[in-house]
Structure 1
Amino acid sequence: MNFLPIFLVSLLAAVGNTLYVAGQKQAASVNNPIATNFFTLLVATACTGLAYPFFTRPETLPLIKQNANWILLSGFGLFIVYIGFNIMYTKFGPQIYPVYAVLSIVLVAFVLAVLIFHEPFNLYHAASIFFAALTVIFFAIAHAQAGKN
């Protein structure tokens, strides 16, 4: 499998995430994280609404109905992400992102993908998760040495 498309789509998501983190960090003065998230969601919904016609296919609506439970689960998950990110970035700042990233790697790439969805998993996948976990260990050491614990 060609890795370039995976890299480019991941880069696109990472750029969007960077913009989101910047907004969350700078919105720290808003004393209500739900308000920040609500208006962030309105902007994202408007952008999604503008993009929607470019991605619609004839089978879209039946598939939405067929997958309503997964869509509800995904929406609830996004709500939790919004709350978690807002607290994470306003209380601790973006420098703690590696902790979140590694926890996401373990939860998504291993627990969800391998244990629940039974996707392939090999020694290289295991090594990547191991080294990601080392990232958190090194981050914790750096954080402690900087006196920010």
Structure 2
Amino acid sequence: MSAPVPRGDELVRVLATLSNPHRLRVVAALTRGGRNYVSRLARELEISRALLQVHLKKLEAAGLVSSRLELSKDGKAMKFYEVNAFAVELTPQNVATAVDTLSRDGDPPGTDRGGSEDSRRSGERNTKDGGAGGNGTADGDTEGQGAPS
């Protein structure tokens, strides 16, 4: 059974998160050794706790690891992390499927940008020819609009 095809933004988030070698090492260490707390994991990976915290937060935000605060026998708060089960099957077809669900320009997925197809194409042309504010004519001529010579 293959993994479900992730939505575009989810795929981007997971791939971007795993593109860092430190985060790959964190996932590997937690996979091999099981749940662990920050100080021990930092020693095992030979990186600072502060740097490890940064990477753990990014992994947690992407849903790849989870954390739980526990009290030790001597009353110290210890944050334990563990890997969440995940699978991403990266194939050209899955990438093409995921692309169809990507948000554009920071819009949340599913945002209707409104307007007809023709008006959207016109907006794209305006953006290319001088910005959405319409600073240029249809052929990109900006003469007489204060452009430096």
TM more than 0.5: no
Q: 1 or 2, which has the higher helix percentage?
A: 1
Larger RCO (alpha carbons 8 Å, 6+ apart): 1
Q: 1 or 2, which has the higher strand percentage?
A: 2
What is the TM-score of this pair, normalised by structure 1? 0.23
